Amino acid sequence: MKVMTVAGAGRAQLQRSGFAALAVALALFALPDYGASAPDGTDPAIGAWQEHSYRFEFVGYYSAYDCDGLAEKLRLLIQAAGARADIGISDACRDPGRPAGGAAVNLIFHALEPASAGGPGSIPVRWRHVTIREQRPLQISSADCELVEQFVDQLLPRFTVQNLENHTRCDPGVESPGAVHVAFDALAPAN
C-alpha cells in the first residue's frame, strides 16, 4: 500500500481532498447546535442540579395505575429525561394497591439547569438526545399513552430541554402501536 504525503500528491488529488474538506465543513455547520446558549443566555457547558418537588395526579380516562405502578412508570420517564438517580417518590393514593384513574404520587427529583462556571455545585454538561416511545424505556407501552402525555405537559417543563418533538397521540380506548413518541435533547452530565 502506497501512502502519499501532500508533497507527493498530484494536483487532482489535492482538489478532491479540498472538496472533501469543504463537504465535511459544510456538514458540520448543518448539524444541530447542541452548544447553543440556554434561553437565559448562560453557557450550557456548565450546569447544576436543581431540586423539584411536585405532586403528580394521574387523570386517566382509559388507563388506571395503582400507586406503585404509577411510581414505577414515572421513575422511568423522569430518569429518561435526565434526572439524577436519587428520585424520591411517595404515594398519595386514597386506595393503596388498587388501580385508579386518579392515582397520585409526590415527587422529589433533581434536574440539570444551565449555571455559571464556578457556581455552587456546577458540573460539565452536554446535550443528550432522548426518545420515549413503546419499549423505550423498556416498560413503556401504548397503554401508557395518557401518562406520557401528562408527563410531557406537567413534568418535562421542569427539565432543560430543546428540540421537543411530541408525536404522542392517544386514541380513546384503543391501544395503537406508535401512539407514544416523544423526542427531545436534555441537559445531561458530560461524563
Pull the grid cell for residue 168.
404522542
Rg (CA), the chain: 23
How far is C-alpha 91 from the geometric centre of its chain's CA atoms?
24
Q: pTM for the complete prediction?
A: 0.73
Partner residues linked to 47 by β-bridges:
114, 123
Partner residues linked to 179 by β-bridges:
none
Q: Is the model more confident about 92 or about 144?
A: 144
Report domain extents, the chain: 46-189
Tens-digit pLDDT profile for residues 141-180? 888 999 999 999 999 999 999 999 999 998 876 777 788 9
The answer to whether 176 touches 144, Cβ cutoff 8 Å, is no
Whole-angstrom Cα distance, residue 155 to residue 152?
6
Q: Is 17 helix (H, G, I), strand (E, B) or coil?
A: helix
